[in-house]
Amino acid sequence: MVRVGILGSVGSGKSYVANIFREIGFNIFSADNEVANIYRNNKIVNKKIAKFFKLKLYKGKINKQELRDFLKKNPNKFRFLNKIIHPTVRKKLALFLTKFKKNKLVVLDVPLLVENKMFNFVDIFILVKTGSSSFLSRIKKRKNLDKEFLNILKKQQTSEKIKESYADFIIYNSSKNKVKLQVKNIIDKILLN
């Protein structure tokens, strides 16, 4: 099994690239989906978050806007949120890799792969790069993501230059058709080796 990790800044189009792999027929692990699932269903993790960040629980769930507001005032606490959530995400990732171990290729859409030193989960890194105008239009479409919180998220990530040093392939996210063609070319290169 070849484990492909998608790298890129916030709003670069990592999930879009991962979805192209899905459309072609490959299984995708989405850390964002897992985190959303934790907020919806994992009362134990929600309780830990509420306790650490001094937030109220609503039917066992965190109010994500309240959490964002707290992090805007205390951005240095973001790493503690990762320490609470990431062990659960890693367990889910390990289960995913076990479930699909007979597959030729799987894709890991995990925003903080490099930052959390998850190199042992990945065989090949693909970096997704985008122009500033595409980035801005993509960010505007995201709900509940104001500029202040976006800057906090960006500060949690290593620079694109560092990510590029890990990249085996780079996808330039300029147009949908070009991205699809780049993904198909990369798949051919990976699977033919």
Query: What are the tens digits of pLDDT across the range 42-82?
Result: 999 999 999 999 999 998 899 988 998 899 898 888 889 98
Mean pLDDT in residue range 33-41:
93
At 144 the pLDDT is 57
Full domain range(s) for residue 148: 2-35+92-192
CA atoms of 183 and 164, how far apart (whole Å) = 17
CA atoms of 17 and 127, how far apart (whole Å) = 10
CA atoms of 162 and 75, how far apart (whole Å) = 22
With H, G, I as helix, E, B as strand and everything else as coil, classify residue 130: strand
In the predicted structure, residue 113 carries a pLDDT above the cut 90: no
Banded pLDDT at 174 (limits 50, 70, 90): confident
Tell me the C-alpha to C-alpha distance, in Å, between residue 121 and each of 39, 75, 96, 109: 24, 28, 11, 12
Assign residue 16 the CATH number of its domain: 3.40.50.300
In the predicted structure, residue 133 carries a pLDDT above the cut 60: no
At 138 the pLDDT is 52
In a domain, 70, yes or no: no
Q: What is the DSSP letter of 103?
A: S
User: How many domains is the chain built from?
Assistant: 1
At 158 the pLDDT is 79
CA atoms of 119 and 123, how far apart (whole Å) = 8
At 177 the pLDDT is 83
With H, G, I as helix, E, B as strand and everything else as coil, classify residue 85: helix
In a domain, 53, yes or no: no
